[in-house]
Structures are given as structure tokens and as C-alpha cells.
Amino acid sequence: MPQSSKPRLLQALIDAFHLPDLRKRILITLGMLVAFRVLAHIPAPGVDSEALAQIFESNAMLGIFDMFSGGAFSSFSIVAMGIYPYITASIVITLMTPVIPKLQMLSMEGEAGRDKINMITHLLTIPLAALSAFGQYSLLQQQGAIASSSAVSTIAIIATLTAGTMILVWLGNIITEYGIGNGISILIFAGIVAKLPEDIGRGFLAGEQGQILGLIVFILLTVIETYAIVVFAEAHRRIPVQYAKTQFRGGRMYRSAGSSFIPIRVNTAGMIPLIFAIAIVSFPAIIGSYFANGSTTEPNFWQHMVNIFSSNASLPLGLIYWGLYFALVFGFTFFYTSVMFQQQDIPGMLQRNGGFIPGIRPGKNTETYLNGVTMNVTWASALFLSLVAILPFIAREITNVQLLQLSSTGMLIVVGVVLDTMKQLEGQLSIRKYEGFIK
């Protein structure tokens, strides 16, 4: 197939459509995304749409959650919670695996163990989804968007939202098994991208309001952030590894050697530290919103709490929210990277396969060395993620553009999913090219 000047992902899609099995996988993925968007427009029962719109206009924090659900939260559809209860369950299981011996044993049992852990994650998702649904129901009822408070109405809404989350998890599993890419990540990606037209409209509105210069600077910051995310997503440090192999032929023992490397990724933690941090830093405002008096009455303690822990707070009050966000992302990056490194058990894997790092003794010395290298590269990752986390605040203060919202976590997800999908497509095409399927 002749080379093309088209972007790599677009060219990979064109090449994949020439192969029946890959074309089927792509169509299944697109079909699941269409189903997701249809579900996102089916409203949950008993919700006042006008009151709901007013709540989202007055609460910018809810707009952040709405962006990740692709607008499903602002319309309070049956999939308003998205798949975030499943992500929460996955994070909990990941963190508990080194602590709980049973989970640790399952993680070492290969594919069968991973299947059991996945089943436990799905089971944990159900109560977490029900708890999150009750929280959303209580918040909207307190704000007047849900009139009925009967037990039947409460159970109906909680059951509907919980079922919506589990349907999305099922769609994601179908994409992972029969489609292209990681289904859960692709659904999050689709939700973020679905909000792009609205964001573009806000950009034009900012231009109409005379904020042309601020809009240009905002776009430049977005481009720079995207480029930096791509660089850090691909960056890694190579640790050279030697393998000693022993073979028996004709009753004789032959020794051979090979070399390879271990890629230590700079950004091992990915977007997880930002998710952890934003959940903690937003918690006081979420709790405060249940007890606040509202903007039309004299503010009480809880209203002050909402104002302090608001992403829309400007200087100097905004330094509390964004400063805490910066510190939490920095700390969680080291914590999650350490957890992931322990679960990968690279020193043990090297020892089992007869591998060693030149100049480093196998066993404890290798573990200490790899720990040191991982922590060194994590400094760069932690600083980068922390700066990316507070970039929306920096962009807003520099450009004074209030209508647009630069989501760091959203950018990390979009870039990460595009890169991962592109690699998977190119990998599938390479396999078929070597097997002679592509002429």
C-alpha cells in the first residue's frame, strides 16, 4: 500500500477498512458509541428540566462532571453517572490488591485471576453506583429539580441510574472484547468529545464579547498542553537487560545470551492522580452544597465552604482550591506510581526469566535500583501533572476568558485514548501485513 501524507490514525483507519475482520471491529465500536449517545438523551423519571438547567448555570462545579458524562448529567439522563462508579471500584481494587492477601494471590494467577478480580470489580460497582445515585438524587431534590420525595420515586431513580451505569460498563466490555481499544476509556473519550461543539460555541461567544486576544492565548495554551501531554505520554527511560539462556541439545548443555530493555514510563500514573485529587478537593464543596443557604440569603458557614472550594474562585481565594489541588496531584502521583510498580513485580519477573541488569545483582539490589530510577523519573511526572492540573486556573487568570473551560483531566484522557487506539490499530495492521493480508 503506498505511503500517504494523511495523519497516522486516519491512515490506519483507512487501511483497517480494507480488512473484513478489522472493519467489523471498527463498526462494532462505532455502534456501541451510537448506543451510548442515544442513552445519554433518555431522561430519568421525575426531573424538572427547567430547574435542572438553572442549577447547572449557577454551579460551575457540576459543569465539570457534566463534561465527562458528555452532557448526560446536565439532562439527568439514565446514564447521568457515566462509568465513574466502575472507575472508582477499579481504583479501590487496585489499591487494595497489595493490602488484601486474597486479592494479591488472585493477581498472580494469570488470566484466571484477572477474570476473578474483574468480576469482583463489577460487583463492587453496583453498591458504589447506588450510593452515587442517591447522592445525585438528594442534591437535585434539595435544589428543587426533583419534586417527588416518595420512597417509590427515590427507589426508581436510584435503580434507573445504577442500571444505566451497568449498561455502560457492558457496552465498554463489548468494545474491549469485540471492538478496537479499551472500551471504558473510549466511552469516556466519547463523552468528552461530545461536549466539544458546545465549547466551540462558547469560544465564538467569547470572541463576540471582545475577548479576541484572550481567546487566542487560550487556544495557544491548549495546543501547548496537548503537545506536552503527548510528549510525556510517550516518554520513558530504557533500562538495559541481559538474558542468559540454557538449552539442552543432544545431551549437551548450550548457553546463549540476549539483550533487551525495560521501558520505565515517565508518566506511569496517567490521569489517576488528577481523579483522586479532584475527588478530595471537591468533597468539601459537595458536602457544603447540601447545607448552604444559597446566593439570595445571608451566607452561612457551609456557603463559605462552597465558595472557598470552588473551581471558579478567583484570586486570592482561588489559591486555596488550586494550591491544594496542586499538592494532592503531586503526592498522589508518587503514591500511585509506587503501588503500580509493586504490582508489576519487575525484579521478580526478571529473576524468573533469567534476566539481570548489567552491574546490578539480581534480587533485592535490582529492586532497590529500579525503585530509585522510578522515583527519579516520577519527579518529572509529578511536577508535570501538577502543572497540568492547575493550568485551567492559570489560563483563566491570564486570558480572562470565563466562558471556556480547559479540562486537564479531559485532555489527558483524549490524548491517551487516541494514542492507545492508534497503537492498537497499527499493531493489528502490522500483524496482518507480516501474514500477507495487506498487498
What's the pLDDT score for residue 4? 42
Q: What is the mean pLDDT of residues 315-341?
A: 84
To which residue does cell 471537591 refer? 282
pLDDT tens across 380-426, in order? 889 988 888 888 777 777 766 655 555 667 777 788 788 888 877 87
Contact 405, 210 (CB under 8 A): no
Contact 43, 80 (CB under 8 A): no
pLDDT value at 1 more than 50 = no
Least confident of 181-185, 241-245, 277-281: 241-245
pLDDT value at 158 more than 80 = yes
Q: Cα-Cα-Cα-Cα dihedral of 133, 139, 143, 146, to 10°?
A: 20
What's the pLDDT score for residue 80? 85
Q: Which residue has the higher pLDDT, 173 or 302?
A: 173
Name the architecture of domain 1-194. Orthogonal Bundle (1.10)
pLDDT value at 171 more than 90 = yes
Q: Superfamily assignment of 198-408 in CATH?
A: SecY subunit domain (1.10.3370.10)
Least confident of 26-30, 53-57, 63-67, 87-91: 63-67
* Range picked from 18-27, 243-252, 379-388 for highest mean pLDDT: 379-388
Same fold, 1-194 and 198-408: yes
Q: Which residue has the higher pLDDT, 127 or 365?
A: 127
d(CA 20, CA 413): 29
Q: What is the mean pLDDT of the chain?
A: 77
DSSP string, 320-365: HHHHHHHHHHHHHHHHHHHHHHHHHTHHHHHHHTTEE-TTS-TTHH
pLDDT tens across 99-131, in order? 888 888 887 777 788 888 889 999 999 999 998
Least confident of 34-43, 168-177, 271-280, 323-332: 271-280
d(CA 187, CA 193): 10
To which residue does cell 445519554 refer? 40
pLDDT value at 72 more than 80 = no
To which residue does cell 453496583 refer? 126
Q: Which residue has the higher pLDDT, 363 or 125?
A: 125
Q: What is the mean pLDDT of residues 308-314?
A: 70
Domain ranges of the chain: 1-194, 198-408
Report the interhelical angle of 212-234 vs 408-434 (nearest 10°). Answer: 50
Contact 389, 329 (CB under 8 A): yes
d(CA 92, CA 124): 9
Q: Cα-Cα-Cα-Cα dihedral of 187, 191, 192, 197, to 10°?
A: 140
Could you tell me whether strands 236-249 and 252-265 are parallel, antiparallel, or unpaired per DSSP bridges? antiparallel
pLDDT value at 248 more than 60 = no
DSSP string, 22-85: HHHHHHHHHHHHHHHHHHTTSBPTT--HHHHHHHHHH-HHHHHHHHHTTTTTTTTBTTTTTTHH
Q: Which residue has the higher pLDDT, 35 or 428?
A: 35
Least confident of 6-10, 249-253, 287-291: 249-253
pLDDT value at 181 more than 60 = yes
pLDDT band at 163 (very low <50, low <70, confident <90, very high): very high
